[in-house]
Amino acid sequence: MSEPRANLPRPAPAPSVSIAAVARHANVSVATVSRVLNGQQVVKPATRDAVMAAVQTLGYRVNEMARNLRTAESRLLLVLVPDVGNPFYAEIMRGIDSVARQHGYLVVLCDTGADVEREHTWFDLLRRRRADGAICLDPDTVQHALAHDNAHLAWVACAEFDPAMAVPYVGIDNRLAARDAVQHLLERGHRRIGLINTDETWLYARQRKQGWHDALTEAGITPRADWCINTHSLDYAAGNAAMTQLLALAAPPTAVFAVSDTLAIGALAGARSLGKRIPHDVAVVGFDDIALAAQTDPPLTTVAQPMRQLGETAVQLLLDLLADRGRPPAHVLLPHRLALRASA
Amino acid sequence: MSEPRANLPRPAPAPSVSIAAVARHANVSVATVSRVLNGQQVVKPATRDAVMAAVQTLGYRVNEMARNLRTAESRLLLVLVPDVGNPFYAEIMRGIDSVARQHGYLVVLCDTGADVEREHTWFDLLRRRRADGAICLDPDTVQHALAHDNAHLAWVACAEFDPAMAVPYVGIDNRLAARDAVQHLLERGHRRIGLINTDETWLYARQRKQGWHDALTEAGITPRADWCINTHSLDYAAGNAAMTQLLALAAPPTAVFAVSDTLAIGALAGARSLGKRIPHDVAVVGFDDIALAAQTDPPLTTVAQPMRQLGETAVQLLLDLLADRGRPPAHVLLPHRLALRASA
DNA sequence: GTGAAAGCGCTAACAA
DNA sequence: TTGTTAGCGCTTTCAC
């Protein structure tokens, strides 16, 4: 055993100074330190200053794991995203993150691949108290499968939802938005209007198809089945392939509505590689209004979703739920708008 | 006070069953339950089964907050990203997430905006034990500012780093990679080769500029100052503007090397809006090889970074550090390659 | 206005 | 092989 060595330079600041150490140093009780730390007004200013001084010199930081055990909350929120790489979700994430942080919550991005099994393992984190709540962006079919087992957990749906579920959600009116987009094409004189849709496990896919159908029939046009392609993913390549397929038709569409900007941008590439000029040979309308949409050639006309606000609202709904678990689930629909650019 | 009511249907499964409840139900001690839960082999099979049965019927889930307080780890990792929307980072995130999860860690995406102040608040989470470690993707200048205060915290640098820092890092040889890219342009006969660079607070920006410079001087060409544009962001619009500026030169470059695919894609748009054909009028080479690079018109020739592997390696370095805080910082350089497509 | 002490749910050292 | 018990660091009654 060696002597206690007081004045050796430490290689690193002592990583563990507890509330007890601060109390000792300031000659008060741990309770008082806790009060100061939590900004309770009862503490006498002089005492408060002494505590703060001790905190300062000791370099104390609260151990939030301990605090959270005591308060029984983790201050962590989960965001369940089917595809992290999709810019649409990235923007929603930004909205979520900003308001979550304002309220002292941390956000964990969870990649689900729209898979029920993986969803389940993420929901397990809620059961194990690793997280306080979740925001789910997965297909309504997936959500539906989840709903029963997780009814007592705190979660909300964002952008995609099953209206029949007793879960709060925020989204837009997809059917109406799609109808607006197709109507714009009709106004430009198009009569043969294709649809590049995605997997119809998504409610939004079914709803936007409805909107496309609505607009066409209202104009006295009978939608043909071969005008409609269902892709299995949302990536650029899928949009490219779908457009190629559409243009191979005997009487190809003169305009195409894609249910996602990524698909639409891929479609642009597909049309171009066939030597088509846009919008002269084919007009294209997308959906979402991601940042890239303004930079394509030509710039993409698209239905703008309020992505950021979608995320912000979702957190708000979740926090409301956390504050009052008994409240009836709120359902919010946000407005969309048509961003007119050169592609249609 | 009312009587205890035993058999009322609960609106939601009791959210709080502790290890003690399981112990009671299985007629064993909490220690035994804990042993079973943690897979310790000492427990007699019969006892083990009894415990598992109790866990099952009670629907018990471990409270990880309590466990973590005890084991003094949060099992949370931070990823400090300057711009969540950039697809380059999204792919690195995927790599990080997959191996972190394999090791039982959760990953929190932290948007820093490459800002030192915001970085500080994120590092605070480490001090408060909210997280065990961090992976930093911010500019080396930012990292440098951080290094002193946070020397005792567990963090590693990824993609961007200051070689002089005593912090583990993984990245590529940016100078060499840029040189390769420009050399490709030279081989195609170009002599006036522009550079769309970003803010030189980034080490990679300075290094890639060096590489551009190397290749040019080796070919006996004197790089002109007006061939080089520094943008203030990495978004598509910035690349567009830079290209416009380059093409306005009296003797504009016949080829352009952009230090990021997003910049390069914006540059493509910029050239096109001026009626230029690619690669005929201007050739363009990018950097990163994001998914979109293969879908542009024409498809983008670019330097491919092993993004996923970058992320995977970064986690590995961090876990190594967590396991042995004393070890000397490891420095890993991963190989790059040139993805040849039609734009150059 | 402040302190003593209980306990959040868990793991691990020590005993039996 | 199992049980008892002491904390992990904090918040929060309840006294004083």
pLDDT tens-digit profile of A87-99?
A: 899 899 999 999 9
Q: Give the pLDDT confidence of B186-223 residue by residue, as tens digits.
A: 999 999 999 999 999 999 999 999 999 999 999 999 99
Q: Answer whether A339's CB lies under 8 Å from A303's CB.
A: yes
DSSP state of A254: S
Query: Of B68, B91, B265, which has the smallest distance from its Cβ to A295's Cβ?
Result: B265
For the beta carbon of residue B195, count every other beta carbon within 10 angstroms: 25
d(CA B139, CA B20) in angstroms, rounded, equals 49
Q: Answer whether B30's CB lies under 8 Å from B19's CB.
A: yes
Residue A310 has pLDDT above 70, yes or no: yes
CA distance, residue B87 to nearest chain A CA (Å): 7
Backbone angles phi, psi at B80, to 5 degrees: -95, 110
Q: Answer whether B93's CB lies under 8 Å from A84's CB.
A: yes
Residue A110 has pLDDT above 80, yes or no: yes
- pLDDT bucket at A109, cuts 50 / 70 / 90: confident
Q: Answer whether B257's CB lies under 8 Å from B193's CB.
A: yes
- Please report the domains of chain A, with CATH numbers, ordered by start residue: 19-62 (1.10.260.40), 74-172+308-335 (3.40.50.2300), 174-304 (3.40.50.2300)
Residue A152, chain B, CB below 8 Å: the answer is: yes
Residue A332 has pLDDT above 70, yes or no: yes
Structure token digits, residue A251 = 């009487």
Low pLDDT (below 50) residues in chain B: 1-14
Question: Could A269 and B295 be called an inter-chain contact, meaning their C-beta atoms sit closer than 8 Å?
Answer: yes
- Max Cα-Cα span within chain B: 95
Give the pLDDT score at A7.
26
Q: What percent of chain A has pLDDT over 90?
A: 79
* Nucleotide nearest A48, from its CA to each C1': C1
CB burial of A167-183 (b: ≥16 within 10 Å; e: otherwise) equals bbbbbbebbbbbbbbbb
Residue A269, chain B, CB below 8 Å: the answer is: yes
What's the angle, vertex CA B315, arms to CA B121 and CA A132, rounded to 5? 55
Q: Is B204 exposed, middle or buried (0-12, 13-18, 19+ CB in 10 A)?
A: buried
Residue B252: is the preceding peptide bond cis (ω within 30°)? no
Residue A111 has pLDDT above 90, yes or no: no
For chain A, helix, strand, coil in percent to 5 are 45, 15, 40
Long-range CB contacts (< 8 A, 24+ apart) of A143-150? A143/A167, A145/A116, A145/A119, A146/A116, A146/A119, A146/A120, A149/A120, A149/A123, A150/A123, A150/A126
Structure token digits, residue A72 = 């029984």
Q: Is the CB of A63 under 7 A from strand C?
A: no
pLDDT, mean of residues A174-179: 98
* Nucleotide nearest B31, from its CA to each C1': D3
Give the pLDDT score at B187.
98
Chain A residues in contact with B265 (beta carbon < 8 A): 292, 295
Residue B236, chain A, CB below 8 Å: the answer is: yes
CA atoms within a 13 Å half-sphere pointing along the CA-CB vector of A51 = 23
The closest of B134, B121, B138 to B201, measured between CA atoms, is B138
Give the pLDDT score at A15.
57
Residue A8 has pLDDT above 70, yes or no: no
Give the pLDDT score at B11.
31
CA distance, residue B217 to nearest chain A CA (Å): 34
If you search the block for the tokens 């104009």, which residue do you land on? A219
Give the pLDDT score at A12.
38
Q: What percent of chain A has pLDDT over 70?
A: 96
- pLDDT bucket at A254, cuts 50 / 70 / 90: very high
Backbone angles phi, psi at B190, to 5 degrees: -75, 145
d(CA A129, CA B19) in angstroms, rounded, equals 14
Q: Give the pLDDT confidence of A124-135 residue by residue, as tens digits.
A: 999 999 999 999
Query: Of B62, B94, B124, which has the smallest distance from its Cβ to A128's Cβ?
Result: B62
Question: Could B85 and A106 be called an inter-chain contact, meaning their C-beta atoms sit closer than 8 Å?
Answer: no
Q: Is the CB of A25 under 7 A from strand C?
A: no
* Nucleotide nearest B18, from its CA to each C1': C9
Give the strands of the sheet with B155-158, arranged side by side: A331-334, A169-172, A155-158, A133-136, A76-81, A106-111, B106-111, B76-81, B133-136, B155-158, B169-172, B331-334
How many contacts does A have with B, using Cβ atoms within 8 A?
129
- pLDDT bucket at A295, cuts 50 / 70 / 90: confident
If you search the block for the tokens 């029920």, which residue do you land on? A116
- pLDDT bucket at A6, cuts 50 / 70 / 90: very low
Q: Answer whether B239's CB lies under 8 Å from B267's CB.
A: yes
